[in-house]
Amino acid sequence: MELLLDPSVWVGLLTLVVLEIVLGIDNLIFIAILSEKLPPHQRDKARVIGLSLALVMRLALLSAISWMFRLTTPLFFVGDMGFSGRDLILIIGGFFLVFKGTMEMHERVEGKRNAVLQSPAYASFGIIVTQIVVLDAVFSLDAVITAVGMVEHLEVMMAAVIIAIGVMLVASKPLTRFVNAHPTVVILCLGFLLMIGFSLVAEGFGFKVPKGYLYAAIGFSVIIESLNQLARRNLVLMRSDRPMRERTAEAVMRMLGKRGSAESAEYADEAAQAADTVPFAEEERHMVSGVLRLAERNVHSVMTPRTDITWLNLEDDPDTIRKEINRTPHGFYPVCRGSLDEIVGIGRAKDLITDIIVDGRVNQQRLRPPIIVHETVRMLDLINTLKSARGQLVIVINEFGTVEGLVTPIDVFEAIAGDFPDEDETPDIIVKAENQWIVEGGTDLHHFEQTLDLEELSQDTDDFSTVAGFLLQQLGKLPEVGETFALDHRNQVLNFRILELDGRRIAKVFVEKTSVAEDATPTEAA
């Protein structure tokens, strides 16, 4: 009772609790790193056992204070240097810390813990607890010696140790969670353990390292790492304004081996050397990219434009209609009266031919009602519409009711897997030579980027979706046949030559890709 009324006892208790917590931080960090090697359901148990053993060990050592003081008596001499039991414990514990910290850092830096497509290999619970006990012995010895030097009463020492361990027990789980969630913090903590291990070995050999130096170095490192974590957090917040789907797509593409837009060109040689290790072929990466970016695209980038639509006019004679059906290999046709904007219905090719043969005319009663969507429809909504269309085409109109184009299921498939030309079509992109292509003006810009291994030629706000639209936006006018245009794009030069015009539309263009270092101009394309 007298102790409770003595202010000096309370001051000593508070001071000793703070010191015990500070001295126990390194023990706590080591327990956090070791417990992460265990299966998730055993980590809390190992952490509690480790700190409980530390409490028991420190109380036991405090109870045997007289034995503790005998540990400082030299047991043997090497020359003029004597080694006590305390020195041997510090040397062995220090070497153990240096060895364990080095092995842990090697595993994490070399990345040997990350086995591909395999379940993680967890350590044995008994082995981890044994390692914790060994380190508890070393750290407990240091903490008990501090307690004996700070206060005179055994009760105060034990109370301080119990309070400190209790605080550490409460703080251990969030600390462990934080350490495991931040790899750079783990490396920093392992550096602390190496430094502490070295100081223990030095102290065991009689070279006293002031604790203030260690704590100053640790404190400075913690401040720097805190600034680093703050900078990372701010970077994440800056990127968080981008849609989650977009960030996920970019992350998946990076895993597939495609360089992100933010990567510097100086890593190009490194990426080329690693190309053989990428488990996905170029075609597979294109397909995955097509799937991930499909929702970002607008309907104009996948539809057949109005100028390329094959439609049937009810005002034509049956023989002309039959010849048109035979000329183009399509399964469905828009059937109109006078113009494409006056759609009567959608006809199946075999039904139309049957009507003409049997009745000598198109039977309008057998036509299917047209499925019409607006040009601003979301791509995912368009896909749902196509699913319910039972293979039928979908008409795309603008705000004035004018037909802009049509979409079929094969158009969506081409947006994912690339161009599948019909019998009456030629491929949109023809390889002329290495880094040289002949490109149709109506080629989808996403397909153009994939084929030429380019990125971000267009932005989401652009109101064009074809190579012709891109060139018109860059030139600001309708070019002449033979006119050339060069574009610098991420340490590459794209050289364009207009090969053919179709009225007021760019029909065909020659493209050559060179590096910035090359002073190349487009060669003649036959």
**CA atoms within 13 Å, Cβ hemisphere of 304:** 22
The confidence score (pLDDT) of residue 509 equals 92
pLDDT in tens, the chain (526 residues): 455 666 666 766 676 676 666 656 666 767 777 777 778 778 778 778 877 877 787 777 777 755 655 667 788 888 778 888 778 877 877 787 678 778 777 776 775 544 444 445 566 777 877 777 776 666 666 666 555 555 556 777 778 778 877 877 777 777 667 766 777 777 776 777 678 778 878 888 888 877 677 767 777 887 888 888 788 877 777 665 656 656 666 666 666 555 554 444 444 444 444 444 455 566 666 677 667 677 777 888 888 888 888 899 999 999 999 998 888 888 899 999 999 999 999 999 999 999 999 888 888 888 999 999 998 888 888 888 888 887 788 999 988 889 999 998 888 888 777 767 666 567 778 888 888 889 888 887 777 877 787 776 766 555 677 888 888 888 888 888 888 888 887 778 888 999 988 888 888 999 998 876 554 455 444 4
Comparing C-alpha atoms, which of 228, 64, 208 is closest to residue 140? 64
* Cβ–Cβ under 8 Å, residues 58 and 161: yes
Whole-model pTM above 0.85? no
Whether the CA torsion 329, 331, 336, 340 is positive or negative: it is negative
The confidence score (pLDDT) of residue 346 equals 92
Fold matches, 299-417 and 429-515: no
Q: How far does CA 350 lie from the centroid of its chain?
A: 50
Q: Where are the domains of the chain?
A: 3-209, 244-259+281-293, 299-417, 429-515
Q: How far does CA 125 lie from the centroid of its chain?
A: 33
Taking the C-alpha atoms of residue 117 and residue 442, their distance in angstroms, rounded to an integer, is: 43
User: Which overall architecture, per CATH, does domain 299-417 show?
Assistant: Roll (3.10)
Instruction: List, in sequence order, every beta strand (DSSP E) within 145-191.
Output: none
Taking the C-alpha atoms of residue 281 and residue 287, their distance in angstroms, rounded to an integer, is: 10
User: What residue type is assigned to position 158 of the chain?
Assistant: M
**What CATH topology corresponds to 429-515?**
3.30.465
Q: Rounded to 5 degrees, what are φ and ψ at 361?
A: -160, 170
Find tokens 């993680």 and name the residue.
120
User: What residue type is assigned to position 207 of the chain?
Assistant: F
CB neighbour list of residue 386: distance below 8 Å, 6 or more residues apart: 394, 407, 408, 409, 412
Task: Name the DSSP letter for residue 455.
Answer: -
User: What residue type is assigned to position 401 of the chain?
Assistant: G
